[in-house]
Structure 1
């Protein structure tokens, strides 16, 4: 975001390291999280893909928004070298940290297969997340094909806002799709999140019609989705599909430190996480509609 940097600039400035684009044979990721229990069944490895077309004010992974690889400076570690090379590989104090990396199909497969024994023992597998994995669908599809050929359970987390063919091709290689429904009002979804809600709902219906195991998830965000009205609209939309499970994802502040690191404003900085009294009526609404409700994913 900043093109030139003085040696003693205040901390947490973002630098871009280039804009080479990933493709069918390479992908851009920013994290691999092992031993996850909240992103599908069993013990899972979650691969976080970089880049997202949406602008959710509550995003807990702001480092995922840009598709580009960038470097941040951790001021607490900085020795204020002169001149500063702004290079994560050369920094003597490890104050410069690169966010994002390019991986090949074979490299990523090798990394996730390190946990294969845990998948087999627990009924787990690999989940693709982001960012928005649909932005790198060509690579992700090939990656899931390889995993399924090895008998590994596959899942993805998505907001579903992409051309139908892109979504259905990728979802066709998933054993499960964790599908986020956010602001249900189409105009507000477009204005606040840059989400095409009509397309999202059409895509959701298409996946269910194709027999894919889809689990709807609804974030509970104060001021945006933490309301009976938004939940009611979600339940009305979901009613014809007769699904059994719904995940409610209460807002948290786990991402706040990342905004400081990236030197970005955080719209939710002073917003407290909802307490049980706020969550309980919404959970009871969903249960009354016949869902097994999982709170927290």
Structure 2
């Protein structure tokens, strides 16, 4: 690499370094959020309220402090301060990172990215709520040759979505309830804008993988899948992920003082998932269950 090229990259990497993002988790060695071994960065804050959300700690954009009773020593005088807690029972959810700080964290796993053809995935919450930081961060990783992906519902201004997507190798794009009125009422999602953004990204040459959460009472039904496949058909995509509902996020709700509204919903079995999988396969898609 020439000196001028090094200087150019250095300037681009440092540009915007005053930006900060609020992150609530950095998950290493993930195999379900893109290809290879990945480090997933979870951005805090989400404009939607999907009842099945497995990361309820992501919903608020504020830094929250919680108490894990299993660790609590029941001190006579509790300071309610995560920094003062002797057992670690008081835990702060959310931390602000600069671009350089977050880059340092994810590069700890660089050897795994290189050996497995993995990389970094930005998730949430909704990464588009902190799009300026995320776009700049992906640009830095791109200059370092690291494979990048985002997980998003795509519900934001098209210029914001496109600018972010252009800096990554693939977009894992959630497609949920197709009925626009129900999507708005149940999830606070602008479904026409979501679909327009998905189409825009594909037409711009972005590698998009649609992902459909299979949620009993919401999306786990034939008509919704038919409408998804009808919409996707002209886009000529080759792959789709089906994400069956699970109860893994339930313990987090009581931890942060939120009600888990899906406690009586059963996890779908193969007899419920297979018809939708077969529909997608018959439409010509390579189907992955679970992402």
TM-score category, normalised to shorter length: over 0.9
**8 A contact 1:27–1:139 mirrored in 2:** yes
What's 1:46 paired with?
Answer: 40
Consecutive unaligned residues of structure 2, counting only runs of 5 or more, are 1-16
Matched with 1:140 is 134
Matched residue, 1:76? 70
- Give the alignment of 1:211-222 within 5 angstroms: 211-222=205-216
Deviation digits for residues 146-169 of structure 1, max 9, x if unmatched?
000000011000000000011000
Q: Distance in 2 between matches of 1:55 and 1:235?
A: 24
Could you list the per-position Cα deviations for residues 25-80 of structure 1 after superposition, in whole angstroms to 9, with x for gaps in the alignment? 11100001111111111111100000000000000000000001010011232233
Match of 1:97 in 2: 91
Measured in 1, the distance between the counterparts of 2:161 and 2:267 equals 32
Deviates more, 1:227-236 or 1:69-78: 69-78
| Kept after mapping to 1: 8 A contact 2:213/2:219 | yes
Alignment pair present for 1:196 and 2:172 = no
Residue of structure 2 equivalent to 1:30:
24
Q: Distance in 2 between matches of 1:149 and 1:79?
A: 47
**Residue deviations 1:166-186 (CA, integer Å, cap 9, x gap):** 100000101100000001110
Q: Which residue of structure 1 aligns with residue 5 of structure 2?
A: none
1:241 pairs with one of 235, 239, 251: 235
Classify the secondary structure of the residue corresponding to 2:220: coil
Displacement, 1:24?
6.2
TM-score (ref. length: structure 1): 0.91
Match of 1:64 in 2: 58
**In the TM superposition, what are the counterparts of 1:103-252 in structure 2 within 5 Å?**
103-252=97-246
Match of 1:253 among 237, 247, 250: 247
Structure-2 change in CA distance of 1:24 and 1:278 (3 Å): farther
Q: For residues 282-293 of structure 1, what are the structure 2 equivalents within 5 Å?
A: 282-293=276-287
Query: CA shift at 1:121, angstroms?
Result: 1.0
Secondary structure of residue in 1 paired with 2:109: helix
2: CA distance between counterparts of 1:79 and 1:115?
A: 35
Aligned to 2:264, the other structure's residue is in SS state coil
Matched-pair contact (CA < 8 Å) for 1:183–1:225: yes
Please give the TM-score of this superposition, normalised by the length of structure 2: 0.93
Q: CA RMSD in A?
A: 1.0
**CA-CA distance at 1:139 after TM superposition:** 0.5
**Unaligned stretches of 5+ residues in structure 1:** 1-22
Q: Which residue of 2 aligns with 1:268?
A: 262
1:247 match: secondary structure? strand
Cα distance between partner residues in 2 of 1:147 and 1:92: 37
Alignment correspondent of 2:10 = none
Alpha-carbon spacing, 1:24–1:214, altered in 2? closer, same or farther (3 Å): farther
> How many residues matched?
275
From the superposition, tell whether residues 24 and 292 of structure 1 become closer, same or farther in structure 2 (CA, over 3 Å): farther
Distance in structure 1 (CA, Å) of the matches to 2:284 and 2:180? 25
Q: Which residue of 1 aligns with 2:14?
A: none
Conserved 8 A contact 2:281-2:287: yes
Please say which of residues 273-282 and 24-33 is displaced more in the overlay.
Answer: 24-33
